[in-house]
Amino acid sequence: MFAVYLVITLLTSAVVGLAAIANFIGHEYPKKQAEQLRVPRSWMLPLGVMLAAGSLGLLAGFAVPVLGLLAAAGLVLYFLGAFCVHLRARDHHFGAWSVFFTLAAAALAANVAYY
């Protein structure tokens, strides 16, 4: 079980961390998504900070399990909020969202199952 927990947590942390970096450096993809979803660009930094905190929290969960559990739960809530934003903007392209949400949910399930 530890191997599954390790792989899912590392993969989720890496993917979410890359998304945070994309927000921080002002990559074109998050800018375009924010524009399509009518999210102010001023929110890009705080959203990137939340993603980075989730990514680092998953890694911290190896040392302090409750941090990993809380980070995974926070990421699930973050991506549920993103889903609501997609619906509000009447954007039904959920491909990227489903990957992020599935990884976050898998990380949460792996944390719960392992501990």
Model confidence, pTM: 0.93
Residue 41: per-residue pLDDT = 86
Give the tens place of pLDDT for each residue, 3-47: 999 999 999 999 999 999 999 998 999 999 999 999 998 999 999
DSSP the chain: -HHHHHHHHHHHHHHHHHHHHHHHHT-HHHHHHHHHTT--GGGHHHHHHHHHHHHHHHHHTTTSHHHHHHHHHHHHHHHHHHHHHHHHTT----HHHHHHHHHHHHHHHHHHHH-
